[in-house]
Structure 1
Amino acid sequence: MAIAYRQQVDDDTEFALWRIEETAEELYKQLQLDDAEKAFTKQLSKSKRYLHWLGTRVLLRKMLRTDEYIDCKIDAHGKPYLVSLPYHISLSHSFDYAAVMISKSGQVGIDIEQIKEKVERIAHKFMRPEEQAFIDQQHKIDHLYVCWCAKESVYKCYGQKEVSFADNIFLQPFDYANEGALQATLDKDTINFNFTVNYLKYEDYMIGYVKA
């Protein structure tokens, strides 16, 4: 399977989606892994998480246009980074899709989620009452997923643990559309950052992405 969707965000930044239709063995053959990565993948074997891990790495390789080994590590906060290549990266996955965002000029964050009704039941856990108040009731589920993906992408872009979606990431009111942008603020301790988060509905998935 080739890249399913690709979007240039600016001259130095892009993201792409990979629809995972391959077997784990087919994806694995497209990668070069070191001993630690091989040991890690054995722990994930035969799980959906294994396919997701492989899918994001294959997509990253395609976006960087290389067949060489890519040294992709995870820092103490769980944020992925490239050891020897000049790109900031963010990885996400949901059901049949892997998503990767790369940039040479700024931190990035991306989140992809398959749209499901259950988000309504947990909205109070990641949204403040004033945020829930601006949700379009005609597009409630989609609108809630934009909010989730926006907060998740901000969280990934910031790249630090112990951030509460409800208490530290605030969204300005915005009207729902199938594609658009919104304003978000991360406010925690002495940190106060403003973000413009873009979003896109793709098939039955919602994607949020941001560059700092």
Structure 2
Amino acid sequence: MALVYLKELDTETKLAIWKIEETAEELLDRLQLDEREKAILDRFSKGKRTLHWLASRVLLRYLLKTNEFISCPSDENGKPYLPNYPYEISFTHSYDYAGLIMSQKGPCGIDLEIIKDKVVRIKEKFLKPDELAFILNDNIEQLYACWCAKEAVYKLQGNKGISFLENMTILPFQYKPQGVMTLMLRKGGLIKSFQVYYENFQDYMLGYVVDEP
């Protein structure tokens, strides 16, 4: 397993991406799993899903600098948390990579997606006409930046009932290979804004966000 990206946003927040090069057995050798986690693995079909899950947990141990067992359950909405550490966390994975963001500031979210032209075919499913209006010539990278931003905020807020199309709106921004956008989340009568960072990572798009007090 190779660390290919490590970024410390500040003294309380960091994110990392690993390239998965090991077998499932090699990853398992670096973990200590409880019965709940073993049951989760047993439900997976062998392949990428298993590798993604194992690699993300190895990466978590790397960032926490421990070889000991780490309790990392998920809440009723599937959001992972660390009952024994003062960090909020979020996982992501895509093809040969696993990623993680962790922060002591507040809830966080991360998403990594391989860039493919299929996003053009589904753009109306996650972007409103006003959002599509500022994306010139179906810029694939900008479309993926918008998808990653919405996915990162979705993971941060942890509520399965949130819709990318209905509850999230991205304000106009000029796309660059690395930048930041403002996303408005509307849930019930509440409106909250997030500054979501994005950047090209090789043939992938990365998006991440931290909900600071």
For the aligned pair, the TM-score class normalised by the smaller chain equals over 0.9
Tell me the equivalent position of 2:84: 84
Shift of 1:87: 0.6
- Give the 5 Å matches for 1:153-192: 153-192=152-191
Tell me the equivalent position of 2:148: 149
Tell me the equivalent position of 1:97: 97
The share of aligned pairs that are identical, in percent, is 50
Secondary structure of the structure 1 residue equivalent to 2:73: strand
1:71-105, CA deviations, whole angstroms, 9 ceiling, x for partnerless residues? 00110111100111111000000001101000112
1:7-40, CA deviations, whole angstroms, 9 ceiling, x for partnerless residues? 1112200100010111111111111100111121
1:129-171, CA deviations, whole angstroms, 9 ceiling, x for partnerless residues? 010111132x711110000000000111111111110110110
- The one-letter code matched in structure 1 to 2:144 is Y
Aligned residues: 211
Residue ranges of structure 2 left out of the alignment (5+ in a row): none
Q: Over the residues paired in the alignment, what is the CA RMSD in angstroms?
A: 1.0
In structure 2, what is the Cα distance between the partners aligned to 1:44 and 1:73? 17
- Give the 5 Å matches for 1:1-212: 1-137=1-137, 140-212=139-211
C-alpha contact 1:150 1:208 (8 A) present in aligned 2: yes
In structure 1, what is the Cα distance between the partners aligned to 2:34 and 2:12? 28
Secondary structure of the structure 2 residue equivalent to 1:79: coil
- The one-letter code matched in structure 2 to 1:158 is Q
TM-score, with length taken from structure 1? 0.97
- The one-letter code matched in structure 2 to 1:124 is E
- The one-letter code matched in structure 1 to 2:12 is D
C-alpha contact 2:2 2:21 (8 A) present in aligned 1: no
Secondary structure of the structure 1 residue equivalent to 2:90: strand
TM-score, with length taken from structure 2? 0.97
- The one-letter code matched in structure 1 to 2:209 is V
Runs of 4+ in 1 over 2 A off after TM superposition: none
Residue ranges of structure 1 left out of the alignment (5+ in a row): none
Secondary structure of the structure 2 residue equivalent to 1:83: coil
In structure 2, what is the Cα distance between the partners aligned to 1:181 and 1:47? 34
C-alpha contact 2:112 2:204 (8 A) present in aligned 1: yes
